Amino acid sequence: MTTPAVIPEISVPPSPYQVPQAFSLVIFGASGDLTRRKLFPALYALAHDNLLPERFAVIGFARREKSHEAFREEIRVAVDEFSRFRPVQPEVWERLARGIYYVSAAFEDPAGYAALGKQLAEVEARYGTCGNRMYYLATPPTSYTTVVGQLGAAGLVSAPWPELSGTDWPCWSRVIIEKPFGHDLATAVALNAEIHKTFHETQVYRIDHYLGKETVQNILTFRFGNSIFEPLWNRRYVDHVQLLVAEHIGVEGRGGYYDAAGALRDMVQNHMLQLLSLVAMEPPATFDAEAVRDEKVKVLRAIRPPAAARVGEVTVRGQYVRGALRGARVPAYADEPRVAEDTTTETFAAIRLEVDNWRWAGVPFYLRTGKALPKQVTEVTIQYRRPPLRLFEHAPHPGHRLGDEVEPNRLTLRIQPDEGISLRVGLKPPGPRISLVPAHLGFVYRDTFGVDPAEAYERLLLDCMLGDSTLFIRRDEVETAWGLVNPILQAWQEAGREGLAYYPAGSWGPTEADRFIQGDGRAWVNP
């Protein structure tokens, strides 16, 4: 077979940011929603911002048979619908589309990987990508070990370091794996062991899209880049911390998946513990990936897993029943399609954790997440201690009774939507009376910077292309997080329906959750 001619250079405007080396991206599960809604729109946005290398190709891999041209047309439709840059610019699309290819095969079929190897060889000769390969597993979790094992068996993965690859060029192979990373601690350990038979840990990028959101990254820059806040970020000044991930939707046709997962697996074990670790971590020596992830793991290891007998004291689990949301009737979770009639799966979870270290000893961290709640919002709220003297208790502001306590200062980091940061302070209102009223200082990302923040997948894909694993999850992070939630999962499973609280769709959760935090003399912060 004649080797294809190398594609000539094309004119791409220079980027002020670092641009990756030439490489090939293989997306397994190329016909799925994640590919259509997130991955290709993110790739188009990177192309739009001139952040892709001039020599770049994408190979979709999926079971359905289709031609390269048909696949490109499907992707064009998806980008038209889901890209944040609309309408699609023809010159940008053509630059991306010229390197899009497709391989049809089942994930377990060795012949498919032989065809993939042939397509990669052709692409690498045509585009001069130097053997650099990035594999994205946009597949069901049950296929992870199959795909990884077949890649290894077909010889499509290079050694992690050039001196071990037997080549004279620094070619690399990386794999991106979507959550969930296992179903519990045992399956997470087994999954990691299987992946490491083919990929070294330095080649594995476990993706949690929450970590790609601008405000999540701003947690670190806000804390460590502003000297007025870091000295107050400890047990002396902080009363407690609340993390809220609220969804206004139900399971929306995903009942089969969700009934086997639940809120604890779906949100707490990954997204919420990642947020907690960023809020609570110590300053890293550098912003090197390993230094940052070392500090995150230290936080997770400082949290004591609850003893089985105490799970009921530090957690509340709930399940939504029939209710109304935004004027529409919502069926009970148990009545959703593909959900077992006798289900005990939680759609709401509230948990109190404590980081048992010098900085945070005695400061509770309250984690709360649920489906069919009034708003779609993700927030971190840091509530500070009240002033030690009630100087203003004899001069209340209108609407407050004499003797009411001054409302505490709160710092709120809004992850989504309307990404931003706000600080609640007490100020004197106009007039002759000395009193305090709460006022909010802060910024909204869009208003301050004049643009919407980039989608999370744009940042995370680019970081993987550049070999920066800072915002990806390391093996010990995954296993430590599972070690924290495993006792809760086991206790809830053994309890069955006992202790499962119910709440109407459209409410902020079961009343048991309100009593849970009120028992500590605190209250939930509802946006």
CA distances from 204 to 62, 114, 345 (A): 21, 23, 31
Angle at 479 between CA 473 and CA 481, to 5 degrees: 80
Would strands 133-137 and 23-28 be described as parallel, antiparallel, or unpaired?
Answer: parallel
Are 148 and 175 in contact by the 8 Å Cβ rule? The answer is yes
Cross-strand partners of 240: 383
- What are the structure tokens assigned to 21, written together? 């080396």
- Please name the residue that has the structure tokens 């004197």: 428
Q: Write down the catalytic residue from 48, 209, 240, 271.
A: 271
Query: How many whole angstroms separate alpha carbon 402 and alpha carbon 248?
Result: 38
CA-wise closest residue to 44 among 4, 12, 92: 92
What's the number of CA atoms in the CB half-sphere (13 Å) around residue 461?
29
Q: Is the dihedral of CA 418, 423, 428, 434 positive or negative?
A: positive
3-state secondary structure of 64: coil
Rg of the Cα trace of the chain?
25
Query: How many whole angstroms separate alpha carbon 448 and alpha carbon 176?
Result: 33
Output helix, strand, coil percentages for the chain, rounded to the nearest 5. 40, 20, 40
Query: How many whole angstroms separate alpha carbon 423 and alpha carbon 412?
Result: 6
Clarify whether 271 is annotated catalytic.
yes
DSSP state for residue 293 in the 8-state scheme: H
Q: CA torsion, points 338, 250, 456, 423, in degrees to nearest 10?
A: -150
Query: How many whole angstroms separate alpha carbon 494 and alpha carbon 488?
Result: 10
Helices (H) and strands (E) counted in the chain, each on its own, are: 17, 17
Catalytically active residues are 271
